[in-house]
Structure 1
Amino acid sequence: MHRESIICCRRDREIRKKIITPGDYTIVPYEDSRCKIRLTDVYCKNADGVCEMEPLSRIFNSPFDGNVIIGDMDAFVDRDVELILQQMCCGELCIAHLTYKNTHGDLMLDITCKIELLDVTEEQLISDWSWARLYESAMHHKERGVQMIKDKRTVDGFRRFSKAYKMLVAMEPVDKDTLDEERAKELIDIRVKLYNNMAHCQLQFEEFGASLELCCRALKYDPENTKALYRRCMAYIGLHMYEEAWEDIQKALAIDPNDKASQLKASELRPHIEKINKDYAKVIKKMFG
């Protein structure tokens, strides 16, 4: 049996594996590789002893058919199994050990199991993917991200949107001579939607600066995008930049006067703007009164 190797080591988690049976080192999984695995001897515990598995895991819960597409998992334990698989060779059998702790160093989850990588469908590196394949992957991750948001899994949704955006970036530079106008508009529309979706995720965790930057990027491509204006308004409010927030919400209402969310946000902002105007009037009066 080989020595145990560390796949990842952080304060909140540690991922290790020990090879029992080596595999074919010439066949290893890459992004989007289709893997067939077998899990055995699964044991899960926490500080109190034996416990239930992470409920959102697909790999460690039934029904699991043994098929894993690298880069297509959402639950944190499944993504960590992906990391292990990318350090395995086809035919390899190993003992995997995944340990998770909270910020105080208390054990939250400890998983050990045997993983056998039965088969790997060899794939190209992303740098060698075709334009069409990158586009298909971007749309897949975007749609999965939308589903994660519907399931109230904001962090997982943001991760999916980020992966979709990376696929769009990998498609550049796009040859404008061979790209028809309709497809060019479609790519811009997807980019704007991804910026908006990532901004929404950042707002959920009060990351107002990051949300502001994403909304500005969206508005650069589509200055009249009401979602981007509304979310940038929210970011400005979080940063206590009420005048800028007021300007954005007024622009949104000028584009769609009947939007209920924008109307409500304008009503919430009005007292702040009235106070700012009164304070400004007092200053002017003192200076020139």
Structure 2
Amino acid sequence: MTHLWKSADKSIQKRVLQPGIFTKKPTECSTCTINVENINVTGMSEMDLKVKYHTNILDGEPEKTMVIGEASSKIDEKIERVICMMNINERSLVIIAMPLKQSESIDNNESVIVQFEITLSLCKRYKPVWNWSAEEKYQVASRYKEKGTVLFKDSRIIDAFRRFSKACKLLITLEPIADLELNKQLEYNINNLKLALYNNMAICQLKQKNYQHVVTLCTKVLNKDKNNVKALYRRGVAYGNIGDNEKAIADLKVILTLEPTNHSAKEQFDVYNTRLQLSLQRNKDMMRRMFKTY
């Protein structure tokens, strides 16, 4: 009997070639030893795949040890998803479709097809996420955030955003945090990390010119910390880019009150203030012409 599984978006297929020993499946933070063989790529060369999609799992020696949840690229996250559905000693044929452009969907664009065989030989299973303590979630989220920071510095903006988002989702499972009755230091650390993650996701969205998402994320920060300069600056720039010069000026003005020598804020304030004044003048001129007509 052929055991075939497809993801909901049909970007991943897994067909069992050799059944394994029925066990509890790998979970987040499980340490797995895998063997990847017979890699075949359609749509680009195998080397280009590794360069473009930053895969670590399909690169290097066939056998490698990995930790579930640590994948730093979209294709490796998909492979992790496959591994989390495997039994020990199972060998499966996996087919993954990746869009030619990372920011685009598979449905609307030509795709690269990656096919390979994978065997799960060992798994040191970690306890399910819902059994993690608040301290464990904080530590793992901190690790994901640091990895995201490295990816951002490497200009891997989309991959960085996914790391920050994954860390944030982990912390959101602790809400409402006041009900957990944690020690004050841990509660403070968790809240601070969450704000830092919102800010980091905002700068990623700003780089991608997703300005409305920037506004939403920065507002989450400012609802908790109204004088957060990074959030004020990023939201101000986002407002300016969607044409809301008044709100842009309001945010940047707060920064200049807090930090009068902030040159970046002053520069952006001047840009949007000039635009606002020109807009107001155009409106005045238009009204003047209308009244002259009558």
Q: 1:129 & 1:99 partners in 2: Cα distance?
A: 33
Secondary structure in 1 aligned to 2:11?
strand
Who is 1:254 aligned against?
257
Q: Which residue of 1 aligns with 2:49?
A: 53
CA contact (8 A) 2:12 2:95 kept: yes
Is structure 2 residue 106 aligned with structure 1 residue 113?
no
**1:209 CA drift (Å):** 1.3
Distance 2:47 2:206 in 1: 34
1:199 partnered with 2:199: no
Does the alignment pair 1:72 with 2:70? Answer: yes
Q: Which moved more, 1:266-275 or 1:63-72?
A: 63-72
Aligned residue runs from structure 1 range 1-289, under 5 A = 2-3=1-2, 5-8=4-7, 10=9, 14-46=11-43, 52-55=48-51, 56-62=54-60, 66-102=64-100, 108-175=111-178, 178-279=181-282
Distance in 1, matches of 2:205 and 2:247, equals: 19
63-72 or 278-287, larger mean C-alpha shift: 278-287
Question: Whole-Å Cα distance in 2 between the matches of residues 230 and 114 of structure 1?
Answer: 48
**How much has 1:175 moved relative to structure 2?**
4.7
Per-residue CA deviations over 1:204-238 (Å, capped at 9, x if unaligned) read 22211111111111001111111111111111112
- CA distance in structure 1 between the partners assigned to 2:163 and 2:107 by the alignment: 29
Alpha-carbon distance, 1:66 to partner:
0.9
Q: Which runs of 4+ in 1 moved over 6 A?
A: 283-289
C-alpha deviation, 1:280, in angstroms? 5.7
Q: What do you get for the CA RMSD once the two structures are aligned? A: 2.7
Q: Is the 8 A contact 1:92 1:118 kept in 2?
A: yes
- Letter in structure 2 aligned against 1:217: K
Give the aligned residue type for 1:6. W
Distance apart, 1:246 and its partner CA: 0.6
Residues 81, 267 of structure 1: alpha-carbon distance in 2 compared, 3 angstrom cutoff: same
Contact 1:17 1:94 in 2 (8 A): yes
CA distance, structure 2, for counterparts of residue 168 and residue 152 of structure 1: 25
Check conservation: 2:203, 2:234, Cα contact below 8 A: yes
Q: Which runs of 5+ in 1 are unaligned?
A: none
In 2, the alpha carbon distance for the partners of 1:200 and 1:58 equals 26
Tell me, yes or no, if the aligned pair for 2:245 and 2:273 is still in contact at 8 Å: no
Distance 1:40 1:287 in 2: 75
Distance 1:205 1:231 in 2: 13
Distance 1:283 1:18, change over 3 A: closer
Q: How many pairs are equivalent?
A: 285
Shift of 1:26: 2.2
